[in-house]
Amino acid sequence: MNWEAFITCAVTGSGNTVDKHPAIPKTPQEIADTAIEAAKAGAAVAHIHVRDPESGKPSRDPALFKEVVERVRASDTDVVLNLTAGMGGDLTLGSVDQPLPLSEEGTDMAGPLERLAHVDEMLPEICTLDCGTMNFAEGDYVMTNTPGMLRAMAKKVQDLGVRPELEVFDTGHLVFVKRLMKDGLLDDPIMLQLCMGIPYGAPDDPTTLMAMVNQLPEGSIWSSFSIGRMQLPYVAQTVLAGGNVRVGLEDNLYLERGVYASNANLVERAVTILEAMNVRVIGPDEVREKLKLKKRH
């Protein structure tokens, strides 16, 4: 049981959710504003993706990240910024019968340093590393993260003094995390995010969660989440297993059946659940101390 937990809010993500929710944050101002609102509601960490302001499609444009970061840092609200580094690994095959050439629609492959350009420029306290290649049950799309790519990204992040949040979608990803540790590419404390219930990774049943938890590196600091209707139940399940919490519109669009959520009210609901369990929700400065982060503003 974790009696002192922090909340991460994943405020927009890169999924095809713009047409599924009337208020998915798209512009840098909207993303920054909703991160600030989530922090005021109790989130210690804001996990940031950016989108094309016109279309709402996912983007990795450093200028968009820069505007979000500058707006949050200029506000009077403190929150730890966690920038995604997952973009630039999108691969879509041409078709089942003819995989090559790759489809231009949905393919965006970049080298490790290009994928980290915004992290290099903005120096957030945390950035994510997706610790493996994944199918997401979306036709011929593959989220591509090879060992070579990830090793290069881990080294660059280590050199920058940014804490990597290691996103783990299945047990094999934990094996790779331990390889990075053995090779000296990760500094203590190790920070992990267990991403549950995502096709076709680890399912979000309690038995599978505990199998993952039982394989975590000793002394690591971890969170977990599930998607959709299981997001809020996972608030309780995660702290019972010893972890920290993630909620937000990246992973779930509804506060309850038929009621659209906002990032702030998902965080508020998480705070209510945790406090009802006598869990103390900790803030950004305590998170910085726990994770040995380098405060950037």
> Measuring CA to CA, which residue among 263, 222, 201 is closest to residue 48?
263
Give the Cα separation of 8 and 44 in Å (integer): 6
Q: Is 182 a domain residue?
A: yes
- 90-99, 154-163, 196-205: least confidently modelled range: 90-99
pLDDT for the residue 139: 82
Cα–Cα dist 66/75, whole Å = 14
Question: What would the DSSP string read from start to end of 218-233?
Answer: TT-EEEEEE-GGGHHH
The percent of residues in the chain predicted with pLDDT above 90, rounded, is 91
Percent of the chain with pLDDT over 70: 99
pLDDT given for residue 297 in this prediction? 62
- Evaluate whether residue 17 is within a structural domain: yes
As to burial, measured by CB atoms within 10 angstroms (0-12 exposed, 13-18 middle, 19+ buried), residue 57 is exposed
| Rg, C-alpha atoms of the chain | 18
pLDDT in tens, 28-72: 999 999 999 999 999 999 999 999 999 999 999 999 999 999 999
pLDDT-based confidence at 102, cuts 50/70/90? confident
Q: Give the three-state DSSP class for 4.
A: strand
Q: Which of 114-128, 137-151, 179-193 has the lowest mean pLDDT?
A: 137-151
Residue 297 is assigned to a structural domain of this protein: no
**C-alpha span between 33 and 219 (Å, rounded):** 34
Inform me whether the pLDDT recorded for 287 exceeds 80.
yes
Report how far residue 54's alpha carbon sits from residue 118's, in angstroms, rounded to the nearest whole number. Answer: 20
Q: Quick one: pLDDT at residue 104?
A: 86
* Range(s) of the domain holding residue 168: 4-291
For range 87-113, the mean pLDDT? 90
Q: What is the CATH number of the domain that holds 87?
A: 3.20.20.70
Instruction: Specify if 82 maps to a domain.
Output: yes
Identify the pLDDT of residue 123.
96
pTM confidence score:
0.96
Domains held by the chain: number: 1
What is the pLDDT, as a whole number, of residue 18?
93
Q: Are 41 and 114 in contact (CB under 8 A)?
A: no
